[in-house]
Amino acid sequence: MRLFHKKPSGAVLVIMAVVTASLPTSPHSVVGVPAAAAASAPALENRPSSFAAIARKAMPVVVNISTTSQRSGRGGSNDPIEEFFNRLFGETTPKENSQRSLGSGILISKDGEILTNYHVVRNADAIKVKLADQTEFEGRLIGKDDRTDLALIKITRSGGNLPFARLGNSSQMEVGDWVMAIGNPFGLEHTVTAGIVSAKGRVIGAGPYDNFIQTDASINPGNSGGPLINADGEVVGVNSAIFSQTGGNVGIGFAIPIDMAKKVADQLRKNGKVVRGWLGIRAQDVSPQLASSLGIVRGGEMAVVTEVTEGSPAAEAGIKTGDIVVEFNGKPVPRSHDFPSVIADTPPGQKVTLKIIREKKEQMVAVKIGELPDESDTSQQIDAKDAELGLRVQRITPEAARRLGMNSTKGVIVVEVQPGSPADQVGLEPADVIREVNQRPVNNVKDFQLALRQGRRGDRILLLVQRGDNAVFFAVKRKS
């Protein structure tokens, strides 16, 4: 279960996003969201007299998923900066560590396909699935999608005659509708809780395609991957995260809409991954105040391009930072939060047209949509060295983020500082995490190198560095 938490002071803090664990010592992640909406009167009138019949039919399709993973302190990890951590923390002897996690899943086919959260099975060396009748099977990962935190696994030697869930239509759910959650909180198998849909379309900062169903049905660690079920016994969501100040349930849980989950599952079954369209821009909504300052008089939704990725389809088509997008393929541009989903649903290779405003003049730009690169692709650049600054950085893997107590893998980690170098002189240290270069966000090694290339030899480079819980600016003068 991913745990989202807000400090009493009101400052939002994200600690970690991890596998739900059967052990109370497991870490959790954190982010604040608005409170639940009130129930509607029609929902109170239509409340089922009992959820027993729905639970009885649904429980056979809910499974218990347990995983184990073996970690070695030396030589047994795929983490590219494991050696760095060994040096930093003085780990010189091999250490074997067996990690366990526990979650839930939904049977979606008679031959044993199971939909669950990716964080339940992330880094698993072995997956064990227990059915409602206590039968146990070995499971294998068919495909995963980190961006939506969904995974498809399949159990072996199932006989091809298993019960499976009826998948509903989450778009038809309304705020106030009754729902039921089934899962294995804290290892308590097939626990049933009920509540209502508190809100729809929630954005909690979990990923680029956030569109969560919020519910007050009790969800706790161990419910991850289990179903959210409507009054007709149909699965309408995959339980994924909770908001809490204490680590326990406070009536604010989040489920991935089943409409999204079905699309992801279909692609995972077919390709083992999700293929998405890619344009290569970041954009923000144009408010009336911003439109006025830009001298734009037209109304309607608009998005201003704030960043264009180098080598992206948008860059090749000539899209520039500051362009105002008013139409995407003949339709009004969606709000900036929905824009990534619209682009992602566009098949790679398809040609689209963007109507933009540049220097107060409208023009049409043709773009061929590319395929969104896989962030977890091991072919992406792992490290980089800058001789003029005197430091070496590496990408931040999920395991590295966990060990550093970080909320995400964005940024690059300093793994080496040359004695006497400009970086050394200003006080940069190994384990520092560089978040920005010259006020430009750094998400990975490629971003870091691109930002450094913008400055000239001898220029001062402004670095925003995270060191523990603190964020510090360093002005580093390059060698002239």
Query: Which positions are catalytic?
Result: 119, 149, 224
| Bridge partners of residue 230, in order along the sequence | 179
Q: Where are the beta strands (DSSP E) in 346-468?
A: 351-358, 361-368, 370-371, 383-386, 391-395, 412-417, 433-437, 440-441, 460-467
Distance in angstroms (rounded) separating the CA atoms of residues 190 and 277: 38
Residues 194-225 as b or e (16 or more Cβ within 10 Å = b)? bbbbbbbebebebbebbbbbbbbbbbbbbbbb
Both tokens of residue 152?
A: 């498809």
| Contact present, 341 and 211 (Cβ < 8 Å) | yes
Distance in angstroms (rounded) separating the CA atoms of residues 317 and 122: 37
Which DSSP string corresponds to 264-310?
HHHHHHHHSS---EE--EEEEE--HHHHHHTT----S--EEEEEE-T
